[in-house]
Structure 1
Amino acid sequence: MSQFDEREEWYEFNNETVEALLADGSQEDATYTMEHHLASSNFELLEKAAVDAFKAGFEVTDAEELMLDDGGMVFCFDAIAERTLNLDTLKNDTDALLKIADKHKVHYDGWGTYFIPTED
């Protein structure tokens, strides 16, 4: 099964994350820095995925090498986009990056962002 075939789980993650941010008081209409995470033990495959993510309109960070809990090594990078908390936009970004991950046989590991407090 491809990662894209599991996209409904990522859509649920998107919904839960946005709901949690808003429930905690983060600004609904703010622009957020969305950091999507991709990883692979193969640097060359990850590099090709980074090029495609860049071509798809994402800012791409330099790859980092991380040690896993089991002692293995993995390379990772972030595909970054400035977005509002619009679920349709998040869905489109998720779809694009899942397809890139499948194409290059790298792992899509979700996204994160930062809390932006509501201005009183």
Structure 2
Amino acid sequence: MTIEELVQEQLQENQDIVEALLEDGSNPDADYTIEHHFSGANFDKLEKAAVDAFKAGFEVDDAEELELDDGATVFAFDAIIEHKLDIERLNSDAKTLIELAEKHGVQYDGWGTYFVE
């Protein structure tokens, strides 16, 4: 999949997530903690991606080592930011972070947040 295809797929997912949260009654005016997920088998590459995410204004948590179902080991971290469920902001951040992941040879695994009353 090309980077353009990855971005377009993520933009559609962003729209779907925001619509689902709002349809379920999540507060449209609240600030949300948005956790963008990254993973990769190479710790050094992941660390460089984390540094760039930090420079881009995100809080970055410590990388964790995870064992997959097939026994393989990967490393993962979250780039965290707080803002409203603004689709334009989410799309801009996702595009930036997908490009950052591509630059460093790691995977951008989407984002998550929590329901806010």
Which category of TM-score, normalised to the shorter sequence, fits these structures?
Answer: over 0.9
Say if 1:41 and 1:75, in contact at 8 Å, map to a contact too: yes
- The aligned residue for residue 43 of structure 2 is 43
- The aligned residue for residue 62 of structure 2 is 62
- The aligned residue for residue 75 of structure 1 is 75
Task: Report the Cα distance in structure 1 between the residues aligned to 2:2 and 2:68, rounded to whole angstroms.
Answer: 23
Specify every segment of 5 or more residues in structure 2 that has no aligned partner in the other structure, as ranges.
none
TM-score, reference length from structure 1:
0.94
Q: Percent identity?
A: 57
Task: Report the Cα distance in structure 1 between the residues aligned to 2:5 and 2:45, rounded to whole angstroms.
Answer: 20
Task: Report the Cα distance in structure 2 between the residues aligned to 1:36 and 1:55, rounded to whole angstroms.
Answer: 15
Task: Report the Cα distance in structure 1 between the residues aligned to 2:2 and 2:46, rounded to whole angstroms.
Answer: 17
3-state DSSP class of the match of 1:109? Answer: strand
TM-score, reference length from structure 2:
0.97
Task: Report the Cα distance in structure 2 between the residues aligned to 1:38 and 1:4, rounded to whole angstroms.
Answer: 18
- What are the residue-to-residue correspondences of 1:12-31 with 2, within 5 Å? 12-31=12-31
1:109 aligns with 2:116: no
1:91 is aligned with what amino acid? N
Specify every segment of 5 or more residues in structure 1 that has no aligned partner in the other structure, as ranges.
none
Q: CA deviation at 1:37?
A: 0.2
1:96 aligns with 2:101: no
Relative distance call for 1:38 and 1:4 in structure 2 (3 A) is farther
Say if 1:4 and 1:98, in contact at 8 Å, map to a contact too: no
3-state DSSP class of the match of 2:25? Answer: coil
Relative distance call for 1:55 and 1:4 in structure 2 (3 A) is farther
Task: Report the Cα distance in structure 1 between the residues aligned to 2:80 and 2:25, rounded to whole angstroms.
Answer: 23
Task: Report the Cα distance in structure 2 between the residues aligned to 1:4 and 1:76, rounded to whole angstroms.
Answer: 23
